[in-house]
Structure 1
Amino acid sequence: MLVGHSQGGIVAATIAADMAEEYQIAHVITAGSPVANHPIPSNTWVTSIEVEADVVPDLDGRHNPSRQTWLTVRAQEAKKQSKSESDKQQESNQRSAGTAEQSPDKAVSEPSKSESHTMRKQQEAWRDALHLGSPAVELHDAHIREIMAGTLESTQYYQGRLHTSENSHHTNT
């Protein structure tokens, strides 16, 4: 299984697409990643999590493929809710009695575009999707759990570093 957020999701999708003949990748999970144009084989499961206000997943200009083994969870941020009629009436009655404070509309503030791209928002989107009880989400979650229930055979960790120095550029003499 490969998992990645943002550019990490692009890397995971690229590996799944480019290395399909060499490796059997059972599942790819992307969060906030533009991966629609990656030719991931249909025998590799893909779970893509996208938050509507996040522009990054849309950078590829396409919707993700729609198939049983590729699920896209597209979360919507809470929108400003207008006051209910009873709230308006209660506020009006309080104002008439001289006791009301001016209260704004009930709302959950909308996050900024950059906040919508955070891993925290992606995790919230997945948790919310699980709570909705969608059969497609449950199927993908079961597949993830099945993979995770296996015995860990190895872990590989890669770290890259960029070294810059004045002597790093080449000149012809």
Structure 2
Amino acid sequence: MKIYTRSGDEGATALFGGGRVGKDHPRVDAYGDVDELNASLGMARSIQMIPRIDEVLVPVQRDLFAIGALLATPDLEKMRDHLTKARIDEQRIDELEKAIDACEQELEPLRSFIIPGGTPKAAALHVARTVCRRAERRVVHLASEVELPHLVVIYLNRLSDLLFMLARVANKRAGAGEVTW
């Protein structure tokens, strides 16, 4: 099988379960941003492997593949299948919250805004956080047009918080101070 199909040369793309939409369709924007987020996390993982941080990110990347598939699926029942197979549920949201709580145990409480940066690992996690926020906005926009499981928005919202905290932990573990605003 060749990687190119030429089927998108006119500006449309196929959806899971059938149908085609323009490549500028809100559904494509949403799953495209989730894909970019996944790639950003892959880049962050490739920079200075840090135990616990990278262990948290691999399952998140798997979750993002499932969320991307869900967003590319116009059929609501098939969407629910993707959520079930991927285990994107309240328990998974709780796991993200526990990871955030674990980070908080390691860090000083926030007293002001943090300027993104620090080590390359932390900076990459901050970039991933901003991509996550954009993906969240795109999913919220798509959800205003089509029915989507609300857990996707909750997941992305919680994930952006986790990425912020992981960036802070990466800086702390490397001995890099935080620059405040």
Q: TM-score range by the shorter chain?
A: under 0.3
User: Quick check: which has more Rg, 1 or 2?
Assistant: 1
Under a length normalisation based on structure 2, what TM-score does the superposition of the two structures give? 0.24
Which structure's residues are more often helix, by fraction? 2
Under a length normalisation based on structure 1, what TM-score does the superposition of the two structures give? 0.25
Which structure's residues are more often strand, by fraction? 1
